[in-house]
Structure 1
Amino acid sequence: MTDRDRLIVHGGAVLSPDAEHVLDADLLIEDGVIAQIRARVHGADPFAGVDGRRLDARRRLVAPGFVNGHTHSHTGILGGIARDWTLEHSLINGPWTGAERSVELTRISALLVATELVASGCTSLFDLVYRFPDIDEESFLATAEAYRDVGLRATLAPMVADRTLFEALPALASCGHAAPARAQTLPAAADIIAACTRLIETWPYDRTLLAPAVAPTIPAHCSDELLDGLDRLSRETGVRLHMHLAESKPQARAGAQRYGRSITAELDARGMLRPGVTVAHAVWTDGADARLLAAGGVDVVTVPGSNMRLGSGLQDSRALLEAGARLAIGTDGANSADALDMLHAVQLTSSVSHVFDRPAGEWLTPGEVLRAATAGGAEAVGLGALTGRISEGFAADLVFWDLGAAAFTPGIDLVNQIVTAARIGDVRTVMVGGRVAMDGGVVAGVDVARLRDRAAELCEEYFAAAKRRRAAAGEIADAARDVLAGQRRLPWRPERLLPATAD
């Protein structure tokens, strides 16, 4: 007998460590870690006689949990908020969508995100939390506690800036309604850096479960002092640094105008393209940018649902991989992707690679997509040595897919069927560190129906309080539509928007 907590996962089909094929194997999990993987030969029980609890995985495909490389929990209450926002419209509305709210609503918003993600097979995530205009430590810790209560691993950063959208995007200066917004005062760089330093130094959680990070939101929205200060803080404390990079054409153009080179080249010149840095979107990047990202050891998150929802364009993930960059996958927030469904993000990543003018043999393979969604995501959130693959010594962060579902019947190519055919309802069980976080659609320890009812009550108050600020943002957004439409039509290479008409 042993004092170790032992669980034997028996009878399942197991995704290989490289996510390329499926093994007939059983797993021995000890204290939440995969201790041994043994093949089943001629149906024999490879752990016969070994003490431990048993989990029957027959008719299940056992795979690593998805890792969401980029989301925003403060938007968990904002699904469906807009029909025709671009990224810039979303940023114009940022002061009210990220406005001060109660600690309870902050926590509930994160719980909504966590429960939706775990139902889609997600076990870890990177959350960039925004609170306009400054950092609220109590609310930030409440967000972390929401992930703890659901049992997900999370890396969390307060998303910060000290330059307004109107400073970062000079083309908006012609919009008359923008004058009050241009007068907004954001916190000073020194104050932001000090607040982030306090969060990191007083962080109360196990960093293998919940880790702090820093997030200068968009380079052009940050002063040199803020970029350099947060980069230095990241290096000195060993926390991740996460940024949005070249997400839209207006952002890419404005960045190049400010820096005299691409945003990626500017970050490289500053020494900010390095291991420990994660960038999201990277839509408006060229081959030279891709090579810089790869050479720096940066983790790049593709966010296809948001990129299409906001009309930002299509990331060329194949070009990034060919350059040697590491790829992860994210959902973004509910205000720009609406449904926080990691399976949907995975499947969109595969499909988007098919619409570039390359031969079919150069589309992203199912194995590449799954590695990006698991091991690649783990690297992007700073947990690459702990999770993201089914290998001995890695955490038992696992998803059990129902092989009796229509998507897997018959089981022709199970790896491909996750990427092309599976549905969120095919996720039967989700395990994090050997602990069941969701089973049969039920999230352990969370009354999801009651949670949603309470969210609806609190959101009535929140939207009522935001009514004036929301209306003002709407006026600015309306005034900016023609300017932003013109920015989207200006030439830029490589072009990431499909032409409006055929020749």
Structure 2
Amino acid sequence: MHRTALDRLGTEPLLLAPDLLLLPGGPVRGHGAVVDGTGFGAVGPLPALSRDRPDLEPVPLPGHLLMPGFVDAHHHLTQSFGSSLAYGEPSEIFRRVWEPLERSLDEEDAYLAAKLAALRSLRGGFTAVAEAGTRSPAGADPVADAAREAGLRVVLGSVANDADGTHDGPGAALDAAEKHLARYAGDALVHPSLAISIPEAATERTLRDTARLAREAGAVVQIHVNEHLAAVERSLLRHGARPLEHLDRVGALGPQLLAAHATLLTPAEIALLRDRGAAVSYNPVASAWKGNAVLPALALDQAGVRFGLGTDGTRADAFRLADAAETAQRLTHGLAVGDSSCGGGWTWLERATRGGADAIGLGGLTGEIAEGRAADFLLVDLEVPELAPSWDLPWELVRTADRDQITAVAVGGRLRLWRGRPVDWDDRALLERAAAAGRAAVERAPITRAHPVSTEHRARGAAR
């Protein structure tokens, strides 16, 4: 397959004719999609599309699956300089690693870190991410600039904490929140969101008022909730309620909430999430690498709780994320009760695409191949040894596929990546600048780790 035709995306309507098209009900043959401007103009059987649009010559995409781009429901784009610094570390590393690192980033650093993360996301098949709010003094603007230039759709959080010194009281926090929502209203790729790092970082007034502002603006509020045992215990001592319960008591639990992690949920809290219509980001790799528990995602699915899959900035491979989502449920639930399906492959594809879009507040815009949706999509090479022969593509996409099979990534009706490389900007120059800036940022940040890097850690163990 040649790139030439896809280069015309965004300049003229195209009728794409892949071997397979992934719809909500599963993969289908003989279907196509018209990309007209930034969105899908029509989707359906190729003969019908050709009849309705005789002006369009179908663009054959042999050996490829056309599927929705993946949605990362929880990310920290300006943490990319630190990546492996958190490996092997105990929980609540945000206090010892991430916040010190982010606070050391100036405007240029924040821009480079975010663009590096955006490139990783696109290479991994993500066309949209929810950015949970940087703690860089430069604020959200460099992150927005980086996402736009990379071609990544981003739900951009602005931190509204007012109980930890971020803002000087509720008035300042709410004023900044209103300005952020207004600044990015109507942006093609940047969708404004509010963020509070954890419930204890904001006063009750700010928790309640950010929820109100977000509802009025049709935005989401991103909050890390019930992630670590220490945070749950602090909330019980301070408020006599668990973090999620505290949000409900102050009027901050509703459809506007995107609760990050929520790994420590009681059955009553699952019902509370369902009844209030709140959404959750299920971050299985983060649980494996530094968490206290795994979100009971299958229980949420059965209860009808909205949720998507998030990386938490761990690794940017959407196929591996879907695999981790299923694997974590199998290890924590399926093995003990003899559940050999654990949601089936379709559950994790759904939560990684359409369900994730709904969770981050973009359900009417992206997450599926459908008329009127944004043309955020992937072309996935199916002619690989791992899929020959193919028997059950949804399961195979979850368990076997990987980002190396992604031939093309399109966002907003424009080709952004071809075979892992940006089509309209220099990724090699970015890598060079980001490597130098990242080393300098980490060296000056007051990061505290429990362990040294792995080679030194191993040497110390051998010496003992």
TM-score by length of structure 2 reads 0.88
Report whether the alignment pairs 1:344 with 2:320.
yes
Question: Pick from 424, 437, 449: which aligns with 1:445?
Answer: 424
Identify the residue that residue 189 of structure 1 maps to in structure 2: 170
Q: CA deviation at 1:99?
A: 1.4
Identify the residue that residue 296 of structure 1 maps to in structure 2: 276
Identify the residue that residue 233 of structure 1 maps to in structure 2: 213
Distance 1:443 1:353 in 2: 35
Give runs of aligned pairs for residues 107-256 of structure 1, distance below 5 A.
107-131=111-135, 136-137=138-139, 140-164=140-164, 187-203=168-184, 206-256=186-236
Report whether the alignment pairs 1:39 with 2:39.
no
1:329-352 deviation digits (Å, cap 9, x = unpaired): 01002xxx2x22222211100111
Question: Pick from 376, 384, 387: which aligns with 2:366?
Answer: 387
Distance 1:64 1:58 in 2: 18
Report whether the alignment pairs 1:322 with 2:302.
yes
Distance change (3 Å), C-alpha of 1:465 and 1:257: same
Question: Pick from 263, 283, 293: which aligns with 1:313?
Answer: 293
Identify the residue that residue 277 of structure 1 maps to in structure 2: 257
Report whether the alignment pairs 1:12 with 2:14.
no
Distance 2:267 2:180 in 1: 37
SS of aligned partner of 1:115: helix
Answer whether contact 1:26 1:46 (CA < 8 A) is retained: no
Q: CA deviation at 1:325?
A: 0.2
Q: CA deviation at 1:447?
A: 1.6
Distance 2:263 2:177 in 1: 28
Given residue 183 of structure 2, which amino acid in structure 1 is its aligned partner?
A: T
Question: Pick from 22, 27, 30: which aligns with 2:33?
Answer: 27
Report whether the alignment pairs 1:427 with 2:406.
yes
Distance 2:124 2:404 in 1: 8
Given residue 308 of structure 1, which amino acid in structure 2 is its aligned partner?
A: A
TM-score by length of structure 1 reads 0.82
Q: CA deviation at 1:362?
A: 5.5
Question: Pick from 103, 106, 122: which aligns with 1:102?
Answer: 106
Distance change (3 Å), C-alpha of 1:325 and 1:462: same
Answer whether contact 2:317 2:402 (CA < 8 A) is retained: no
Answer whether contact 1:76 1:110 (CA < 8 A) is retained: yes
Distance 1:15 1:429 in 2: 15
Query: Which stretch shifts more, 425-434 or 27-36?
Result: 27-36
Q: CA deviation at 1:53?
A: 6.1
Given residue 265 of structure 2, which amino acid in structure 1 is its aligned partner?
A: T
Answer whether contact 1:318 1:363 (CA < 8 A) is retained: yes
Given residue 81 of structure 2, which amino acid in structure 1 is its aligned partner?
A: I
Query: Which stretch shifts more, 220-229 or 394-403?
Result: 220-229
Distance change (3 Å), C-alpha of 1:438 and 1:54: farther
Given residue 229 of structure 2, which amino acid in structure 1 is its aligned partner?
A: K
Identify the residue that residue 455 of structure 2 maps to in structure 1: none
Distance 2:289 2:126 in 1: 21
Distance 1:372 1:81 in 2: 29
1:294-344 deviation digits (Å, cap 9, x = unpaired): 1111111100111111132111101111111012001002xxx2x222222
Report whether the alignment pairs 1:61 with 2:65.
yes
Q: CA deviation at 1:228?
A: 2.2
Percent identity reads 25
Distance change (3 Å), C-alpha of 1:239 and 1:49: closer
Structure 2 residue runs of 5 or longer lacking an equivalent are 1-9, 452-464
